[in-house]
């Protein structure tokens, strides 16, 4: 059935979307977090909108990892094993790429994302576990963000160079190549080779490389507002592993003098470049002066990130909402009690899950704060605990807190942070109930963003490029209580869609971040605004829930985002 679809699919020129990770469904563990979930949401919205798209990623047969936490919060990682055959079809096509002087065969698994609108976006999962490949090459596509720099470069060769060859081999005509972050930037090198001018046609040897032609075909989205977050490879490693696909002097000109910087490469060879929120666009422009960088603010896939009870509510009052999230503008039609009851249903489902997985009993009538994201220092998961005495004077009987998040296996500080939260949990016992759910994934995420009362986010400014979990919360009538960074700068209307923490976003240098100032604001608002409103002004509270849906979910969804990509990037 898929093969037939492939023939159907190659009829029309396509936008090819490349991402190192794609979160397409919970039990396909080829994603680690925000970037992958966004990629999945992008593709789902593309299918809903019947866009002519295909996507390419790596199979990562051993996935990211399963998180185990002991009673003290120490994390251990277990490889995931999953069976691609259960979900996808292995295609007979093979391409080969050269790595360390060997020809490495690459095969592809096809997974079709099909929408109820009958749109279809196929994803090709590249896999080097092919008979005939050397044992070490068979593992190139096994681990997501595992291994050393050499391993990562090999993966990026498979994704970028192998990924272009595979679509070509399958018979696709591609009108735009969209690089979701720099991991796939090597595709530009393959395109340069593909569109090389014959040497006898040019008067200067450099003109063999038709940079303008490749630029015309490429779109680059950057997601990282921190310099260290961009992939860089030393040239001796590059020449050892990749040899010299184009002359080194040309490569250095487009990929960076000192090392091969995958972001530079993407920026230099893309006609359209964007950040993922307005502020992030600004930050990126100052990080990379001289490039024209736009901003397309992220969204989330509306249907995917709405819990069952809200799906039923929207079906009743806003039919058509899933493929037309603009209909949230009419959320005012829904009676207050129904919004509240729908929320309580989601909250009880989450608290059930908490009881089943941790044994902890939480009270559905207590204001519940949710916090879940990668456990890493800049996200400051412990900000709310900066002054425990103060929290203990505000919270008992009025607050409970649910956490989740994995730390990257190599992020020791992140792991320590989880342990710290566990010890605080013990200290607060009997006063403020707190749980840490293990193995945060898309399923746990949906339960959390829909089942808590407020969604907390306290990153160091301006490190949060966009953030998306808060948008998921808004789709379920859950208000954000967050530092003004990323998307929240655009979504926040104080006391209306949610609440801010700390100073306004005009100040963006890291030195402006004062933990104490942010914590102080957090405590003040909890104590004087949020807790009193929750317990004594339920009507106002539900009005705010409506605004979260009618103003935040209305805008911060992937349908809006994809229309922007089409008009600004794909068909310009
Ligand atoms: C949405 C999501 C993320 C990203 O959330 P942020 O708010 O951007 O940190 C990470 N992991 C999972 C499993 C998600 O569903």
Question: Nearest to residue 169, comparing CAs of 95, 89, 90?
Answer: 95
**Same domain for 123 and 260?**
yes
* Shortest-distance Cα residue to atom 7 of ligand 1: 469
Give the pLDDT confidence score for residue 360 in this predicted structure. 98
CA distances from 218 to 123, 176, 363 (A): 19, 6, 52
Average pLDDT in the 413-437 region? 97
Residue pair 282/289 in contact by the 8 Å Cβ criterion: no
Q: Which atom of ligand 1 is nearest to the CA of 34?
A: 4
Give the pLDDT confidence score for residue 511 in this predicted structure. 58
Separation CA 280–CA 283 (nearest Å): 5
Give DSSP secondary structure letters for 400-452.
Answer: EEEEE-PPPTT-HHHHHHHHHHHHHHHHHTTTSEEEEESS--HHHHHHHHHHS
**Same domain for 363 and 262?**
no
**Please, which pLDDT band fits residue 207 given cuts at 50, 70 and 90?**
confident
Q: What's the mean per-residue pLDDT of the chain?
A: 95
**Same domain for 108 and 9?**
yes
Four-point Cα dihedral 329, 333, 338, 344, nearest 10: 10
Question: Nearest to residue 54, comparing CAs of 145, 161, 184, 170?
Answer: 170
Question: Nearest to residue 55, comparing CAs of 84, 80, 34, 30?
Answer: 30
The verdict on the CB of residue 468 being under 6 Å from ligand 1 is yes
Average pLDDT in the 50-74 region? 96
* Shortest-distance Cα residue to atom 15 of ligand 1: 442
Which residues lie closer than 8 Å to 227 by C-beta, 6 or more apart? 287
In a domain, 357, yes or no: yes
The verdict on the CB of residue 29 being under 6 Å from ligand 1 is no
Give DSSP secondary structure letters for 447-504.
Answer: HHHHHSSEEEE-PPTT--S---HHHHHHHTTPEEEEES-TTHHHH--BTTTEEEESS-
In a domain, 343, yes or no: no
**Same domain for 258 and 386?**
no
The verdict on the CB of residue 34 being under 6 Å from ligand 1 is yes
> What is the token pair recorded at 352?
């059930």
Percentage with pLDDT > 70 across the chain: 98
In a domain, 439, yes or no: yes
In a domain, 478, yes or no: yes
In a domain, 142, yes or no: yes
Last residue of a domain, one of 219, 240, 270: 270
Give the pLDDT confidence score for residue 417 in this predicted structure. 97
Domain count, the chain: 2
pLDDT in tens, 527-553: 999 999 999 999 999 999 999 999 999
**Same domain for 394 and 483?**
yes
113: CATH: 3.40.50.2000
Average pLDDT in the 88-114 region? 97
Q: Which of 445, 459, 464, 470 is the best mutation target for the ligand 1 pocket, counting ligand atoms within 8 Å of the beta carbon and taking the most?
A: 445
In a domain, 503, yes or no: yes
* Shortest-distance Cα residue to atom 4 of ligand 1: 34
Where are any strands of DSSP class E within 160-237? 174-180, 218-221, 232-234
Residue pair 268/186 in contact by the 8 Å Cβ criterion: no
Q: Which atom of ligand 1 is nearest to the CA of 379?
A: 9
* Shortest-distance Cα residue to atom 12 of ligand 1: 33
141-145, 352-356, 395-399, 503-507: least confident range? 503-507
Q: How far is CA 54 from the centre of its chain?
A: 18
CA distances from 271 to 13, 16, 82, 462 (A): 19, 15, 38, 26
**Same domain for 523 and 375?**
yes
The verdict on the CB of residue 552 being under 6 Å from ligand 1 is no
Separation CA 169–CA 221 (nearest Å): 26
Res 504 pLDDT > 90: no
Q: Which of 414, 452, 468 is the best mutation target for the ligand 1 pocket, counting ligand atoms within 8 Å of the beta carbon and taking the most?
A: 468
**Same domain for 261 and 391?**
no
The verdict on the CB of residue 125 being under 6 Å from ligand 1 is no
Judged by DSSP in three states, 260 sits in strand
Buried b (16+ CB within 10 A) or exposed e, 261-275: bbbbbbbbbbbbbbb
Question: Residue for token digits 């090198």?
Answer: 189
Question: Nearest to residue 159, comparing CAs of 7, 1, 20, 14?
Answer: 20
**Same domain for 246 and 363?**
no
Residue 257: is it exposed, middle or buried by C-beta count within 10 angstroms (0-12/13-18/19+)? exposed
**Please, which pLDDT band fits residue 508 given cuts at 50, 70 and 90?**
low
**Please, which pLDDT band fits residue 6 given cuts at 50, 70 and 90?**
confident
Give the pLDDT confidence score for residue 510 in this predicted structure. 55
**Same domain for 366 and 245?**
no
* Shortest-distance Cα residue to atom 5 of ligand 1: 469
CA distances from 486 to 225, 264, 298, 304, 502 (A): 10, 22, 10, 22, 14
CA distances from 44 to 121, 300, 354 (A): 8, 10, 29
**Same domain for 41 and 182?**
yes
Range of the domain at 243: 2-270
Give the pLDDT confidence score for residue 204 in this predicted structure. 85
**Same domain for 186 and 63?**
yes
pLDDT in tens, 448-484: 999 999 999 999 988 999 999 999 999 999 999 999 9
> How far does residue 446's CA lie from ligand 1's centre (Å)?
10
Which residues lie closer than 8 Å to 358 by C-beta, 6 or more apart? 435, 437
In a domain, 570, yes or no: no
Give the pLDDT confidence score for residue 474 in this predicted structure. 98
Count other C-beta atoms under 10 Å from residue 244's C-beta.
Answer: 10
> How far does residue 468's CA lie from ligand 1's centre (Å)?
6
**Please, which pLDDT band fits residue 507 given cuts at 50, 70 and 90?**
low
Last residue of a domain, one of 234, 253, 270: 270
Which residues lie closer than 8 Å to 279 by C-beta, 6 or more apart? 462, 485, 486, 489, 505, 508
Give the pLDDT confidence score for residue 269 in this predicted structure. 98
Give the pLDDT confidence score for residue 4 in this predicted structure. 46
Give the pLDDT confidence score for residue 506 in this predicted structure. 67
Strands 102-114 and 120-127: antiparallel
Question: Residue for token digits 């998961």?
Answer: 381
Average pLDDT in the 400-410 region? 97
Last residue of a domain, one of 251, 270, 289: 270
**Same domain for 263 and 370?**
no
In a domain, 307, yes or no: no
Res 251 pLDDT > 50: yes
> What is the token pair recorded at 36?
């992958």
């Amino acid at each position: 059935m898929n093969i037939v679809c492939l023939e159907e699919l190659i009829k029309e020129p396509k936008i090819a979307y490349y991402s190192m990770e794609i979160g397409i469904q919970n039990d396909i563990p080829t994603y680690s977090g925000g970037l992958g979930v966004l990629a999945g949401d992008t593709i789902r919205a593309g299918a809903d909108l019947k866009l002519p798209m295909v996507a390419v990623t790596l199979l990562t047969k051993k996935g990211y990892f399963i998180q185990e936490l002991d009673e003290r919060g120490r994390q251990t990682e277990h490889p995931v094993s999953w069976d691609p055959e259960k979900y996808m079809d292995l295609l007979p096509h093979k391409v080969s790429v050269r790595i360390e002087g060997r020809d490495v065969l690459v095969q592809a698994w096809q997974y079709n994302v099909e929408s109820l609108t009958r749109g279809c976006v196929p994803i090709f999962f590249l896999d080097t576990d092919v008979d005939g490949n050397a044992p070490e090459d068979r593992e190139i596509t096994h681990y997501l963000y595992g291994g050393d720099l050499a391993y990562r470069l090999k993966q990026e060769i498979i994704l970028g160079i192998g990924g272009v060859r595979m679509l070509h081999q399958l018979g696709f005509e591609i009108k735009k190549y969209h690089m979701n972050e720099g991991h796939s930037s090597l595709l530009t090198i393959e395109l340069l080779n593909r569109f090389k001018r014959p040497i006898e046609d040019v008067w200067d040897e450099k003109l063999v490389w038709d940079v303008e032609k490749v630029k015309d075909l490429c779109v680059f989205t950057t997601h990282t507002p921190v310099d260290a977050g961009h992939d860089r490879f030393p040239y001796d490693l590059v020449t050892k592993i990749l040899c010299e696909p184009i002359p080194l002097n040309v490569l250095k000109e487009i990929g960076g003098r000192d090392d091969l910087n995958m972001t530079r490469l993407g920026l230099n060879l893309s006609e359209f470049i964007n950040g993922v929120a307005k502020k992030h666009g600004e930050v990126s422009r100052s990080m990379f002066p001289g490039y024209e960088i736009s901003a397309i603010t992220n969204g989330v896939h509306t249907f995917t990130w709405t819990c069952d009870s809200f799906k039923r509510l929207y079906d009743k009052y806003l039919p058509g909402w899933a493929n037309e999230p603009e209909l949230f503008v009419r959320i005012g039609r829904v009676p207050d009690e129904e919004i509240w009851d729908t929320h309580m249903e989601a909250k009880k489902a989450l608290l059930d899950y908490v009881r089943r997985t941790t044994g902890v009993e939480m009270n559905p009538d207590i204001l519940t704060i949710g916090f879940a994201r990668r456990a890493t220092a800049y996200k400051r998961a412990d900000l709310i605990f900066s002054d425990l005495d103060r929290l203990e004077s505000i919270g008992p009987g009025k607050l409970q807190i649910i956490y989740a998040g994995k730390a990257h296996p190599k992020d020791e500080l992140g792991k320590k942070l989880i342990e710290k939260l566990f010890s605080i949990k013990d200290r607060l016992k009997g006063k403020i109930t707190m749980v840490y759910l293990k193995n945060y994934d898309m399923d746990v995420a949906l339960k959390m963003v829909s089942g808590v009362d407020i969604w907390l986010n306290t990153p160091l400014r301006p490190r949060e490029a966009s953030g998306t979990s808060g948008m998921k919360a808004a789709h379920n009538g859950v208000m954000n209580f967050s530092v003004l960074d990323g998307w929240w700068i655009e979504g926040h209307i104080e006391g209306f869609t949610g609440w801010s923490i700390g100073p306004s976003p005009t100040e963006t240098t890291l030195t402006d971040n004062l933990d104490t100032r942010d914590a102080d604001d957090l405590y003040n608002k909890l104590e004087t605004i949020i807790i009193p409103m929750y317990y004594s002004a339920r009507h106002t509270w539900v009005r705010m829930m409506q605004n979260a849906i009618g103003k935040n979910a209305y805008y911060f969804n992937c349908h809006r985002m994809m229309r922007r990509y089409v008009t600004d990037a794909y068909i310009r």
